[in-house]
Structure 1
Amino acid sequence: MNKIYMIFTGGTISMKIDDVSHTVKPALSANQIMQSLLDSKLYNELEIIEYSEVPSPSITPKMMLDISKIIKSNIEKNHARGFVVVHGTDTLEETAFFLDTVIDSKVPIVVTGSMKSASELGFDGINNLVSSILVAGSTKSIGRGTLVVMNDQINSASEVTKTNTLTLDTFKSLDYGPLGIVDNREVIFHREVSYSRKKVLVDSISNDVYLIKAYAGSDSLLINYLTSQNAKGLVIEALGRGNLPPSMLDGIENAINKGIPVVITSRCPSGRVLDSYGYLGGGKFLTDMGCILAPSLNGQKARLLLSLAIQKSSDYEYLKDLFTI
């Protein structure tokens, strides 16, 4: 039987409370974590790959690219049944979205982690591992793209986001709800992914794409600085439906005139951007300037998509088509 590959990167699931500092720190290896699985039959179907032992704020796009290459190599050489990427939760949604964007395969890929360390009551890591293994090994998961499995809920990497700093059900698809659940070891899907996002099949990524958050009274200072530093792309988390203060427009025009793509998302946690407002700084004004809307992506995902896309082309029509759903 083809194996499920467990790729460990670190995160809270591998941490314990340190006796001296009384803070949560890395403490467990991949093998130590996996020894906690009680079902030996399940364990025997797995292959462990210990990629790193770092908290997720240390995960970089370059590391995401490395993980994607590990997955693609094992799909090609070993005909893997599925993959589980064990990851810290702070940037988990970004790695999941990255993998969903750069890997064109029907093989199930699941990303999971833990909100509590192994020292804490209610440690959720083992349950999340078991549920993720079940989802990765299920024929029902084939062709659904990269999935995030936490708290017995199955979400799409393109839709899910971390919504709370503490709770076990922090990962939610705010606009659509979960794709399915794991119930009594049964994998149940209730719906399909809401839309099929286009793949960007590249072997490199630019780190010179920056994310800016708009606020009342924000101006062009940061935009002009990043433009002067030869930024390759800008993503702006705009207000509401995708609108900006007029004081940001000169900087945006300057960036676009220098060939720097500017992508607009919303700082709102749910809802899509749309160029429905025509006033100065409104969404329609921005698209008329040459900005590109990212209708249903948050800022961090839009930044990753733009970082990957410009490795292929910075052409306006290509990027507009890529971000359109």
Structure 2
Amino acid sequence: MMQKILILFTGGTISMTTDLSTKKTVLDDSNIDLISSISKRFQNNELVPLVFSMKPSPAMTPNDMCRIGQLIDEKLSQDDYAGCVVTHGTDTLEETSYFLDLFLQTRKPVVVTGSMRNYSELGYDGFSNLVSSILVAGNPASINRGVLVCLNDEINSASEVTKTHTLALDTFKSMEFGPLGIVDEQDVIYYRESVKHKYHLTPSQLTARVDIIKVTTGMDSSLLNYYVESKLVNGIVLEAFGRGNVPPTMVDGIKNAINHGIKVVVTSRCPKGRVRDTYAYAGGGAHLKELGVLFSGDLSSQKSRIKLLLALSLNNDNIDQYFEIA
């Protein structure tokens, strides 16, 4: 039986072209042309295109991600579907892919891809990225690996990968650990497993709001206190210094937030390494742990926000289990 691969289009540069009058990049629903151009390469697969949205990825919201996840689970629950490829804009691709990694029930392969160049540019990478992603999604070795990100013939885990460059074709990298594998012509080759502990967070709807505060020198508690007084958020991610430290002038605001039931998670503005309760001075990691701040390991602030948002939306009291200090 010919296996089906769902191709779920959401927008982004892979679905864009250059406007000849302005010379600027704009959305253009050319997905049918894209599928027809590559379908002859997949004689043993039926490619099933479905347009979820046509939007640039900065317009993507967590509620969109939730609906994408529900749609994928619905489709992949059918036996004749082998996997799914999601095309997405690269600006927020890592957030959507990590959301899906936490959210999805299916263990069938789900691969998120995009492109750095639009359909009308020389060297358009959307063709090769989509072809490689379909190969990954249809390969049995991709089953039960969580959500994967495939661009530039590299396969990365959604929990590890980040966008590292504004323009380069090889922008998506797992800086700490390297890719899980590669696509070499028709071959899908895996070198390692993901090192991340897998959490499964599937709320029926998103009921929480989480914001990120980037910590800078001399910062005080004003912004934290504003969040408390405005009652805007249920959680705050602090993108802190180094090992997970903040200025002492932020401590009162952190206490205030925690005392008002706001979950506070600390991560680092460093692109590599983990946060930990190493320093015992005021505002240091050990001090923050004593106050009840949660630690995000080596997750970026944007991924920590996604995890906290999903955990809080579960409406249970055991949020701490999803964050780590080890």
TM bin, normalised by shorter chain, reads over 0.9
Q: Which residue of 1 aligns with 2:271?
A: 269
- For 2:85 and 2:44, locate their aligned partners in 1 and report how far apart those are by CA, in whole Å: 13
Residues 13-43 of structure 1: CA distance to partner in whole angstroms, max 9, x if unpaired?
1111111111100123321221221625348
Q: What 5-or-longer segments of structure 2 have no aligned partner?
A: none
* Residue type of the alignment partner of 2:205: S
Distance 2:322 2:227 in 1: 24
Matched-pair identity in %: 49
CA distance in 2, matches of 1:124, 1:33: 12
User: Where in structure 2 are the equivalents of 1:224-235 lying within 5 Å?
Assistant: 224-230=225-231, 231-235=233-237
TM-score (norm 1): 0.96
Matches within 5 A, 1:77-88: 77-88=78-89
What letter matches 1:53 in structure 2? Answer: M
Give the alignment's Cα RMSD to 1 decimal: 1.4
Per the alignment, residue 56 of structure 1 pairs with 57
Superposed, which structure 2 residues align to 1:3-22 within 5 Å? 3-22=4-23
Matched, 1:39 2:46: no
SS of residue in 1 equivalent to 2:37: coil
Corresponding residue for residue 110 of structure 2: 109
Shift of 1:196: 2.2
Q: How is 1:1-325 mapped onto 2 (pairs within 5 angstroms)?
A: 1-37=2-38, 39-42=40-43, 45-206=46-207, 208-230=209-231, 231-313=233-315, 315=317, 318-324=318-324
Question: Structure 1 regions of 5+ residues with no counterpart?
Answer: none
Letter in 2 for 1:57: P
The alpha carbon displacement at 1:97 in A equals: 0.2
Q: Does the aligned pair in 2 maintain the 1:61–1:207 contact within 8 Å?
A: no
Shift, 1:307, TM fit = 0.7
CA distance 1:219–1:125, change in 2 (3 Å): same
Q: Counterpart amino acid of 1:72?
A: D
How far apart, in 2, do the equivalents of 1:43 and 1:87 lie? 25
Kept after mapping to 1: 8 A contact 2:3/2:45 = no
Provide Cα deviations, 1:32-75, integer angstroms capped at 9, x if missing partner.
Answer: 22122162534851111111111100111111011001111112
User: How far apart in 1 are the matches of 2:109 and 2:252?
Assistant: 45
The aligned amino acid for 1:279 is Y
Deviation readout 1:247-285 (Å, 9 max, x if unpaired) = 111111000000110000001111111111111110010
- Displacement, 1:179? 0.3
Contact 1:8 1:50 in 2 (8 A): yes
TM-score of the pair, normalised by structure 2: 0.96
C-alpha contact 2:208 2:312 (8 A) present in aligned 1: no
SS in 1 for 2:265: strand
SS in 1 for 2:17: strand
Q: Is the 8 A contact 1:8 1:86 kept in 2?
A: yes
Aligned length: 323
- 1:261 is aligned with what amino acid? K
CA shift, 1:93, in A, is 0.4
**Secondary structure of 2:306 counterpart:** helix
- Structure 1 counterpart of 2:209, which letter? D
**In the aligned structure 1, how far is the partner of 2:80 from the partner of 2:321?**
33
Query: Structure 1 residue runs of 4+, over 3 Å off?
Result: 40-44
